[in-house]
Structure 1
Amino acid sequence: MTMIRGAAAITGAASGIGRALAVELAQRGCDLALADRDEAGLKTLSAEIGRQRKVTVHRVDVGEPADIAHFATDAIAAHPSLNIVVNNAGVALMGTFEEIDQAQMEWLFGINFWGVVHGTRAFLPHLKTRPEAHIVNLSSVFGIIAPPGQAAYAAAKFAVRGFSESVRHELAVAASPVRLSVVHPGGVATAIARNSRGGVGVTDNARRAQSIERFETAARTTPKDAALRIIRGIEKNEPRILIGNDARFMDLLQRFRPATYWAPLQRKLERMAKGTGK
């Protein structure tokens, strides 16, 4: 079992799963390099946990490769024992493929996919010098199934999954000390849906509001529980970390009906919606 120790770099650390991971890792003895665009959120988090461990905060837009490169350089300089990297930052975009334009799709990919790739590339040379190290890349349950209205998001999260699995296999073949886990959260009670952008062609604001409400109603896993599950996955070197009963159910459904999972899943979602009166 891998011991949680050393220092961890976390993107998207000011809120949600990233914030919860920072708190839990600090309690287990990790120093922290915390990155986010939300500087106020980072300062609040640093004040909360800085009394326990050494914490540095870094204003980073993971959609900017130069920001990630500077983050890696500064984080490693401040924390030479850094051996855990969590590529967590992400955004959401609501709308069908025809309702989003190319610029919006590229914006999302720049953060949700390229942010993971650039983060992995920037930290990997240092991680390979450590006796034991771990990369954690956040995909989604939408990196396992692809519902309508999530063409951009699902495409990016499937890409994170494929990239992460290939790099993990390359590290194993090379007998590298670096391990890699890809995380597939189901519904987690964060602000990602409420903070999502709408496609330029989305004119039905009531539909968008209903989609957000349904997501938040179904998001039963707390960020803390998600963080604890990820930490357990790191400790056990799990290649795939599923978070929540919904993620486990959808993973199984996709395995049994890889090309036809949407019809039974849609019926289940409709029954759930009726049950909650939504």
Structure 2
Amino acid sequence: MKNFSNRVAVVTGGASGIGFGLAERFLAEGMKVVLGDIEAAALDKAVGALSENGEVLGVQTDVSDFRSLQSLADATVARFGAVHLLCNNAGVGGHQRFSTTSLETWKWTLNVDLWGVINGCRIFAPILREQDEAHILNTSSMAAIMHPPFLQPYNVAKTAVVALSSGLRQEFQEEGAPIGVSVLYPFFTQTRIADDERNLPASMKGREEADPTLAALREEVRAGLATGQTPAEVAEAVMAGIRADRLHIFPHPQSIALVEEAANRLVTDAKAS
């Protein structure tokens, strides 16, 4: 995708963090931006702040709900008549041991982090096909490369997002569809993902365990996020990646060493097999 001015971008999880940073960057390119977010108050605040820089529409959206995502698409088309750039960015995390992670937690995480992306692509792809050029950005994570412990639902979802993005990109190319696909791998970024308990369904409140290992890990992650990249820095890398039509977008400088380490493990095991 080369032209952004007067085009329409949809960003889920757009009220804060990376989503807000993307929205700011897209507005700077002259785009019209639609924010989808589950947090109504944060969404209203974000729309108010961003509207000073361009046309912004906020739609309260639960990405785990197909009908809610469909409503986001309907509202976007009703307001702007088209969609050119879809950012499936909303996500949740949460550290737990595999042995104590409930089925409800698995379902919640996969519904948001994976099904939110799948259904976003399903719903918006027909609209994107109607444009002269379009793009999908799916937010994964460096967890999809590193597969750290105590994050199994998140790891599974974010790794699946990579597979979906790669396969979908090839499928669109085979079909001659005017849709590029990129996958974003954020590392430590100044977001609130470590505080995703605020968006838990009521029946899952209080899922945090009294586990000293996990408590220490959560604090370590929070510290890393607090000193990590800014959403604006991530958004700058995203713009460059979309313009270059890259499949993989790694915004953090430490990503290179981590990707090389993971690739070397694969090569070593493949040679030994």
TM-score by length of 1: 0.88
For residues 151-200 of structure 1, the C-alpha deviation after alignment (integer angstroms, 9 at most, x for no partner) is: 11100001111111111110011121110001111111211113357995
What SS does the aligned partner of 2:254 have? helix
How far, CA to CA, are the matches of 2:151 and 2:267 in structure 1? 17
What SS does the aligned partner of 1:252 have? helix
How far, CA to CA, are the matches of 1:26 and 1:67 in structure 2? 24
How far, CA to CA, are the matches of 2:229 and 2:195 in structure 1? 16
Corresponding residue for 1:272? none
Q: How many residues align?
A: 260
What SS does the aligned partner of 1:245 have? coil
Task: Extract unaligned runs of 5+ from structure 1.
Answer: 262-278
Superposition pairs of residues 1-278 of structure 1, within 5 angstroms: 2-5=2-5, 6-196=7-197, 200=207, 202-204=209-211, 206-219=212-225, 220-258=228-266
How far, CA to CA, are the matches of 1:43 and 1:227 in structure 2? 21
Contact in 2 for aligned 1:194/1:212 (Cα 8 Å): no
How far, CA to CA, are the matches of 2:216 and 2:256 in structure 1? 25
How far, CA to CA, are the matches of 1:192 and 1:238 in structure 2? 25
Please report how far the alpha carbon of residue 260 of structure 1 lies from its aligned counterpart in structure 2 after TM superposition: 8.3
- Cα separation, partners in 2 of 1:87 and 1:160, compared to 1, 3 Å: same
How far, CA to CA, are the matches of 1:224 and 1:195 in structure 2? 21
How far, CA to CA, are the matches of 2:122 and 2:251 in structure 1? 26
How far, CA to CA, are the matches of 2:265 and 2:189 in structure 1? 25
How far, CA to CA, are the matches of 1:201 and 1:43 in structure 2? 29
How far, CA to CA, are the matches of 1:98 and 1:236 in structure 2? 43
Please report how far the alpha carbon of residue 238 of structure 1 lies from its aligned counterpart in structure 2 after TM superposition: 0.9
Q: Which has the higher helix share?
A: 2
How far, CA to CA, are the matches of 1:35 and 1:147 in structure 2? 29
Please report how far the alpha carbon of residue 207 of structure 1 lies from its aligned counterpart in structure 2 after TM superposition: 3.1
How far, CA to CA, are the matches of 2:171 and 2:35 in structure 1? 28
How far, CA to CA, are the matches of 1:104 and 1:227 in structure 2? 30
Moved over 6 A (4+): none
Corresponding residue for 1:275? none
Contact in 1 for aligned 2:94/2:196 (Cα 8 Å): no
- Cα separation, partners in 2 of 1:149 and 1:259, compared to 1, 3 Å: farther
Please report how far the alpha carbon of residue 138 of structure 1 lies from its aligned counterpart in structure 2 after TM superposition: 0.5
Please report how far the alpha carbon of residue 119 of structure 1 lies from its aligned counterpart in structure 2 after TM superposition: 0.4
For 1:210, the aligned partner's letter is A
Cα RMSD (Å): 2.0
How far, CA to CA, are the matches of 2:69 and 2:31 in structure 1? 21
For 1:202, the aligned partner's letter is E
What SS does the aligned partner of 1:92 have? coil
TM-score by length of 2: 0.90
What SS does the aligned partner of 1:113 have? helix
